[in-house]
Amino acid sequence: MIAVCLHAQSESTHPDEAVSNLFLEAFAFASDQPGKGRVDIYVQIPYPEIKFVKEDEQYTGRFEISVAMLPQEKQQLWQKSQLVEVNLKDFSQTVSNRFFSLKQFSADIPPGKYELQVQVIDQESKKGATIKRSIVVKDFGNDTLALSDVMMVRRMTIDGAHKNIVPNITGMVSKEQTGLYLFFEIYNHAQLDSVKLICKFINSKREVVTQRTKRELLDGVRTQTIWQIDTLSIAPEQYLLVVEAAGTSTTDSSKSFHASVHRICTVRMKNMPLFVTDIDKATEELQYIAKGNEINRIREAANPEEKQKRFLEFWMKRNPNPKDPNNDLMEEYYARVDYANKNYGGYMDGWKTDRGMVLIQFGPPQNIERHPFDSDNKPFEIWYYYSQNREFIFVDETGFGDYRLQYPTTDLWGRIR
């Protein structure tokens, strides 16, 4: 069996703040320890979330990352912390979301349901963020045929008999990629010689838009598989990626075995920000930055290709570094939109809410003062932007989490209500 090493390359605000562009992913595998599963945890911290200081001829950032695993009864089962130092010579990398630190942790724990908690604290600013994720660790030893979680591969290098893998933990790939690599393990307690593998991409309408198959020879109880999916010529959208394995007993043809696993995969358009998969929706979300007839000009394009061309022209005019085709301002704008949609949405999209409006315009606040249970007042929040000498007060008038901007009272940005 080829040994595969999964390794990483070497929420930056107050824990209560509106954060950040952090990514967290966890993958469950069978453990070498009896009665346990192994969880590989990856945390991606973009450099703008770290406060860098100039030291001699380089820029240095330091942060502490802590990872904990809590069972359903919320008593901490496993915890690990690490201090990380990042040294850069190019200042432009410190402010670009295209550069990041990717850290890995591994835990061997009993099968069950857990809450994964990750905290990142910047050592210079003392600000931090906490991310939580529910995960399930399977008992792979009890299945006659089973699959680990599926990992999308960002980069792979070969060193002799070893394949070194850097995972793609965002789950996002470009439509123009020539191929997609998947890594997973097959656990074969049924003593099969081989299995048929099926990979399906299922869209939001629950339609299988494409699928691939292959025959995989099995190497004992555990087989590590790296599968190249030859093309991603499918529409930009979020898909359910399903991997299935099926096999028949070599000694009894009446006995068949099946296993499946799934994850989310997003196919994005060429030259588009990480979080944009629907150009019509992305155009609507330009409300806070577009001027005059700019949105209508994009909407009125004769075909999708022309619409994308006009969209990119809109952002090229605002590219802080026109010589760089990767527009960091565009990436940051839609990262904020994505955060607002995930955290402030309800009966309307999060980017249309008052908190979403302020977050997109000004970025994460430097501090948030929350008052959810004051007896004499309705729930309210105060967002502080000390460096800009601004503060914003939001009140939840209905008690259903719909925080409306109360101060300042002037409508500065043409809200969408």
CATH code of the domain containing 181: 2.60.40.10
Q: Is residue 59 part of a domain?
A: yes
CATH number of the domain encompassing residue 58: 2.60.40.3880
From 225, 243, 268, the end of a domain falls on 268
Helices (H), 88-180: 91-94
Nearest to 408 by CA among 358, 359, 352: 358
Structure tokens at 27: 């993958």
Q: Is residue 228 part of a domain?
A: yes
Residues 223 and 276 reside in one and the same domain:
no
Instruction: Say how far apart CA 100 and CA 45 lie, in whole Å.
Output: 5
286 phi and psi angles, rounded to 5 deg: -85, 5
308 phi and psi angles, rounded to 5 deg: -65, -40
Provide the pLDDT for residue 401: 84
Structure tokens at 16: 């209560």
Q: Is residue 223 part of a domain?
A: yes
Q: Is residue 1 part of a domain?
A: no
Residues 138 and 148 reside in one and the same domain:
no
Residues 56 and 163 reside in one and the same domain:
no
Distances 306 to 125, 237, 316, 346 between C-alpha atoms, Å:
44, 19, 15, 33
Residues 404 and 299 reside in one and the same domain:
no
Provide the pLDDT for residue 31: 94
Residues 332 and 222 reside in one and the same domain:
no
Residues 168 and 261 reside in one and the same domain:
yes
What tens-digit pLDDT sequence spans the chain (417 residues)? Answer: 334 444 443 333 333 343 457 889 999 999 999 989 999 999 999 888 898 999 988 999 999 999 999 998 878 899 999 999 999 998 888 877 788 999 999 999 999 999 999 999 999 988 888 888 899 998 888 778 999 999 999 888 877 777 788 899 888 887 767 678 999 999 999 889 999 999 999 998 999 999 999 999 998 899 999 999 876 778 888 899 999 999 998 888 888 999 999 999 988 877 788 788 789 999 999 999 999 899 999 999 999 889 999 999 999 999 888 877 778 889 889 988 988 998 898 789 999 999 999 999 998 888 888 888 877 788 999 999 988 899 999 999 888 888 999 988 655 555 444
Q: Is residue 295 part of a domain?
A: yes
Structure tokens at 209: 């838009």
| DSSP-derived 3-state class of residue 57 | coil
Nearest to 11 by CA among 99, 105, 119, 84: 119
Residues 280 and 406 reside in one and the same domain:
no
Residues 183 and 75 reside in one and the same domain:
no
Q: Is residue 3 part of a domain?
A: no
Residues 190 and 202 reside in one and the same domain:
yes
| DSSP-derived 3-state class of residue 149 | coil
Instruction: Say how far apart CA 89 and CA 72 lie, in whole Å.
Output: 45
Distances 271 to 13, 37, 72, 236 between C-alpha atoms, Å:
29, 39, 42, 12
Structure tokens at 180: 């997609």
Residue 338 has a CB neighbour count (10 Å cut-off) of 18
Q: Is residue 395 part of a domain?
A: yes
DSSP 141: G
Instruction: Say how far apart CA 21 and CA 167 lie, in whole Å.
Output: 17
Side-chain-side CA neighbours of 178 within 13 Å: the count stands at 0
Provide the pLDDT for residue 12: 30
Q: What is the pLDDT of residues 31-71, one digit of tens each?
A: 999 989 999 999 999 888 898 999 988 999 999 999 999 99
Provide the pLDDT for residue 59: 94
Are 165 and 183 in contact, with CB atoms under 8 Å apart? yes
From 333, 349, 365, the end of a domain falls on 349
Residues 33 and 114 reside in one and the same domain:
yes
Q: What is the pLDDT of residues 93-148, one digit of tens each?
A: 887 778 899 999 999 999 999 999 999 999 998 888 888 889 999 888 877 899 99
Residue 261 structural domain: 144-268
Residues 249 and 290 reside in one and the same domain:
no
Cα(first)–Cα(last) distance of the chain, in Å? 60
Provide the pLDDT for residue 15: 35
From 125, 142, 159, the end of a domain falls on 142
Cα dihedral sign, 210-172-334-345:
positive
Structure tokens at 403: 């925080």
Q: Is residue 2 part of a domain?
A: no
Residues 246 and 364 reside in one and the same domain:
no
* Full strand arrangement of the beta sheet holding 23-30: 23-30, 37-46, 100-109
Domain count, the chain: 4
Provide the pLDDT for residue 13: 34
| DSSP-derived 3-state class of residue 286 | helix
